[in-house]
């Protein structure tokens, strides 16, 4: 896909990976529908960045755990830009808890945003794409689901399900829409733990002895979008941690 002139919807565009992906898309000529939930300032920064490059960009607030707001996001985005060509499912929440500590509320909260939202967004995205046009979906998964551990039980379940969803939608939506995923490893300190010694963490856990970055994930998203003969792939970007 030639990205110049296409329109991409990025969920969670105002922070962390979503912000880096959005900026990279703008640098490659994409118009941007920038979703945010509470990070309005970050989304506005990306909007201003894209507009400074001469591109159309618009921010949209929505709680993606609410199906009505989710549908409105797609409706509003396609109304502003005519249609959406690309969907980047990036929004997620990462809440702790082992299996026996996982309450129904904790389970539901993470499944609503991390799995149900991308499932429904892809459905609405496919419905709005005009006949005869090609579309692309990239889901942001997580490399930690390839290693079976007890921590973050509900979160891990959601991201494992995102991987399965990627494969199933890739089959259902071919040949018109490709569906792939990127599974990041350690890219940033956890929110609220910015004082983490990331190099020490890398030395312990990552064969390449360094952590990644949001920009590395953005590069991999761009790589996927450039491929027209790739669908149903989950690219693990973790410095070898999962080997």
Q: What is the pLDDT of residues 150-176, one digit of tens each?
A: 899 999 999 999 999 999 999 999 999
Give the pLDDT score at 195. 73
Position 196 confidence tier, pLDDT thresholds 50, 70, 90: confident
Position 193 confidence tier, pLDDT thresholds 50, 70, 90: confident
Query: Three-class SS string for the chain?
Result: CCCCCCEEEECCCCCHHHHHHHHHHHHCCCEEEEEECCCHHHHHHHHHHHHHCCCCEEEEECCCCCHHHHHHHHHHHHHHHCCCCEEEECCCCCCCCCHHHCCHHHHHHHHHHHHHHHHHHHHHHHHHCCCCCCEEEEEECCHHHHCCCCCCHHHHHHHHHHHHHHHHHHHHHCCCEEEEEEEECCCCCCCCCCCCCHHHHHHHHCCCCCCCCHHHHHHHHHHHHCCCCCCCCEEEECCCCCC
Q: What is the pLDDT of residues 74-119, one digit of tens each?
A: 999 999 999 999 999 999 999 999 999 999 999 999 999 999 999 9
- Determine how many CB atoms are found less than 10 A away from the CB of residue 243: 10
Q: What is the pLDDT of residues 121-156, one digit of tens each?
A: 999 999 999 999 999 999 999 999 998 888 999 999
Over residues 4-16, the mean pLDDT reads 97
Long-range contacts of 166-174, Cβ-Cβ distance < 8 Å, separation of 24 or more: 166/139, 166/141, 166/232, 166/234, 167/232, 167/234, 169/122, 169/137, 170/231, 170/232, 171/232, 173/122, 173/126, 173/135, 173/137, 174/231
For the chain, give the percent of residues with pLDDT over 90. Answer: 93
CA 111 distance to own-chain centroid: 15
pLDDT above 80: residue 55: yes
Give the pLDDT score at 194. 78
Contact indicator for 9, 87 with CB cutoff of 8 Å: yes
Q: What is the dihedral of CA 196, 202, 204, 209, to 10 degrees?
A: -160
For the chain, give the percent of residues with pLDDT over 70. Answer: 100
Q: What domains can be seen in the chain, in order of their start residue?
A: 7-237 (3.40.50.720)
Give the pLDDT score at 32. 98
Q: What pTM was estimated for this model as a whole? A: 0.96
Contact indicator for 63, 109 with CB cutoff of 8 Å: no
């Amino acid at each position: 896909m030639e990205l110049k002139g296409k329109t991409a919807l990025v969920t969670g565009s105002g922070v962390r990976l979503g912000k880096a992906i959005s900026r990279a898309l703008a640098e490659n000529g994409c118009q941007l529908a920038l979703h945010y939930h509470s990070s309005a300032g970050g989304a506005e920064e990306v909007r201003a960045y894209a507009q400074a490059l001469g591109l159309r960009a618009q921010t949209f607030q929505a709680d993606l755990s609410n199906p009505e707001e989710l549908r409105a996001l797609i409706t509003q985005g396609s109304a502003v830009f005519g249609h959406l060509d690309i969907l980047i499912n990036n929004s997620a929440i990462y809440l702790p808890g082992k299996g026996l500590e996982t309450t129904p509320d904790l389970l539901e909260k993470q499944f609503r945003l991390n799995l149900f939202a991308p499932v429904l967004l892809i459905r609405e995205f496919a419905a709005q794409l005009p006949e005869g046009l090609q579309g692309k979906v990239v889901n942001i998964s997580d490399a930690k689901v390839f290693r079976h551990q007890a921590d973050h039980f509900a979160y891990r379940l959601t991201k494992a399900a995102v991987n399965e969803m990627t494969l199933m939608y890739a089959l259902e939506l071919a040949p018109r829409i490709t569906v792939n995923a990127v599974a990041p490893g350690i890219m940033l300190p956890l929110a609220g733990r910015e004082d983490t010694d990331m190099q020490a963490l890398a030395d312990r856990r990552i064969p390449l002895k360094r952590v990644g970055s949001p920009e590395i994930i953005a590069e991999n998203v761009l790589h996927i979008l450039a491929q027209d003969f790739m669908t149903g792939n989950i690219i693990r970007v973790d410095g070898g941690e999962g080997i």
